Amino acid sequence: MKQIWIISKRELQSFFNSLMAYIMLVAFLGFSGFFTWLFGSDVFFVKQASLQSFFGIAYWTLFFFIPALTMRLFAEENRSGTIELLVTKPVNDWQLVLGKFLSTLLLIIIALVLTLPYYITVANLGPVDHGAVWSGYLGLILMSAAYISIGIFTSSISNNQIVGYMLALFIGIFFQIIFGLLAGNLSGLFGSILDYLSLSTHFESISRGVIDTKDLIYFLSIIFIGLVLTEGNLAKKRI
Amino acid sequence: MDIIVENLTKKFGTQRAVDNVSFIVKTGEVLGFLGPNGAGKTTTMRAITTFLTPNEGTIKIGNLSIYDHPDEIKKHIGYLPENNPLYQDMPVIDYLKFTAELYGIEKSKIKSKILEMVNLCGLEGEKHKKIGELSKGYQQRVGLAQALIHDPEVLIFDEPTAGLDPNQIVEIRKLIKKIGKEKTVILSSHILAEVEATCDRIMIINKGKIVADGTSEELRKHAQGKEILKITIEDGDVNEIFKALQKIDSIEVVDFIDKNLNSFEIQSKPEMSSKKAIFKMCVEKAWTLTELTPFETKLEDIFRELTMN
């Protein structure tokens, strides 16, 4: 556990040292703030004291930002050879993968914490369904964790960060929208399988305030599979 | 802690980078790894540091096998990889702190340990700079500092003096010699003089196999076999000297180097020396011996002989 935290701390430091963290925070808050308060189907347009519009925007901004954060994690270590020094230190592959995963998740959580003023503002405007807001945040965190684990996996595939980014988006877009679209057009068993695979289905039900174990299992399995594949990739390099 | 390598084989595809290699390095020994590019030096070192998993064979450090206790082994090894890969965007101090934490050094001791390393490796003026801003020589020092920070019992250095200036090279060699008295050290290099200066034992590896193993004197003796002398004798007739030399029992071959200067190359019979006999002969005939130089086989020659073909 201690090793995981040491790795995370270094990664977080590196996010902030390289300006990546600031760019991500400013862009995320900018986009989500703009569409939540000023433009499109914003809070005033909907005329409801709810954060549904924010969750809808965050769902898409995080989808594009997360691969940009994760693409560096292993690709850069592989390219510069620093992975050799890292794995010959007393850390095992799992601690390494979990440390990197945790660092990115923490950065996302920091970004989400910074949007809490939205919640306070909305709560002052009218009666808010507090449960729905908290479960909406939980949904965003779970969804971020899923995409981080996909992003870490694609980053561990090659030495090239761009390959990591594109591949993460390519895999992500299926979960994000394509499975959902296909499920709408298909019926029967195949349709319901695709519907279950679609991330948006699970995200929407959570962000409406319904926390079902089925949804939790879905997110946790994506995270788990992504991390296992990453660990496999690391181990493969040493054989 | 001893390093025990037994029947180590590492394949990359069908190529055997390291082929059935066995050796032991004892505590207090500095082993120099020599070999042409692609001979398998780095692969062997990577296997010892658990970075690569061998296809066959076992490696033990102390009593710990790399298969059963990798995490325990890593704590006892200080490793400086080839090309010295470091996080370019991290300040020196932060990087050393990160390493110290990973090695599990107590929190209260981390600061003093870092200072000790900064002094030892001469990083005083550079400690707050980012690693990427340092020259190659200073980066190499950071690499050394991170390898030594946890006071490991086993040190693996892959080309430790690459990119350093002559003064730094001398310093690092001194440091390695000093450390090597209590620890087990393996270092690789392609600079033969360096290996000769720093190592107690030299191992030459070629195409994944060990082709020579011993101290530099042992290697020399083994390669040399026969004594070769270059002599110059003034006054006296060339042909007369030539005949007189041939009469000496211990001499096998006499050859002219330069007839006008009366200089000869002399090869003695195996296990025999002709230096004394030549001197006596000159005294008897009242010739003046102005040069008598033994031809030393250089490590370079041994190296080339063993690794060419």
A102 has pLDDT over 70: yes
- End-of-domain residue from the set B185, B214, B243: B214
**Residue range B163-174, pLDDT digits in tens:** 778 888 888 888
Residue B289 domain boundaries: 226-297
Residue A236 per-residue DSSP state? H
Same domain, B290 and B210: no
Distance of CA B64 to the CA centre of its chain: 26
- Domain CATH for B274: 3.30.70.100
Same domain, B172 and B36: yes
**Distances from the Cα of B145 to the Cα of A80, A93, A182, B82, B170, angstroms:** 19, 24, 57, 15, 17
Q: Which of A38, A58, A82 is nearest to A203 (CA)?
A: A58
- Domain CATH for B78: 3.40.50.300
With contacts defined as CB-CB under 8 Å, which chain A residues touch B49? 88
Return d(Cα B66, Cα B12) in angstroms, integer. Answer: 20
pLDDT of residue B224: 62
In a domain, B305, yes or no: no
Number of domains in chain B: 2
Average pLDDT, chain A: 90
Which B positions 21-50 lie with beta carbon below 8 A of chain A?
A: 46, 49-50
Q: Chain A residues with CB-CB distance to B under 8 A?
A: 2-3, 6, 10, 13-14, 17-18, 80-85, 87-92, 238-239
**Residue ranges, chain B, pLDDT below 50:** none
Same domain, B177 and B48: yes
Q: Is A8 helix (H, G, I), strand (E, B) or coil?
A: helix
In a domain, B219, yes or no: no
In a domain, B302, yes or no: no
- Do the beta carbons of residue B189 and residue B161 sit within 8 Å? yes
Return d(Cα A153, Cα A75) in angstroms, integer. Answer: 10
Within 8 A by CB and 6+ apart from B204, the residues are B34, B35, B210, B211, B212, B213, B219, B302, B303, B306, B307
Would the ipTM clear 0.85, i.e. be above it? yes
Same domain, B11 and B49: yes
- End-of-domain residue from the set B171, B190, B214: B214
Same domain, B134 and B266: no
Residue B296 per-residue DSSP state? P
pLDDT of residue B121: 83
With contacts defined as CB-CB under 8 Å, which chain B residues touch A18? 89
**Residue range A166-177, pLDDT digits in tens:** 999 999 999 998
For residue B133, the tally of other CB atoms under 10 A from its CB is 13
Same domain, B93 and B123: yes
In a domain, B303, yes or no: no
Tell me the nearest-neighbour CA distance from A84 into chain B, angstroms.
7
Same domain, B266 and B193: no
With contacts defined as CB-CB under 8 Å, which chain B residues touch A80? 85, 88
**Residue range A4-37, pLDDT digits in tens:** 999 999 999 999 988 889 999 999 999 888 888 8
Q: Which of B155, B189, B184 is nearest to B24 (CA)?
A: B184
**Residue range A81-98, pLDDT digits in tens:** 899 999 999 998 999 999
Return d(Cα B211, Cα B206) in angstroms, integer. Answer: 7
**Residue range A124-165, pLDDT digits in tens:** 888 888 888 899 999 999 999 999 999 999 999 989 999 999
Tokens of A187: 């019926």
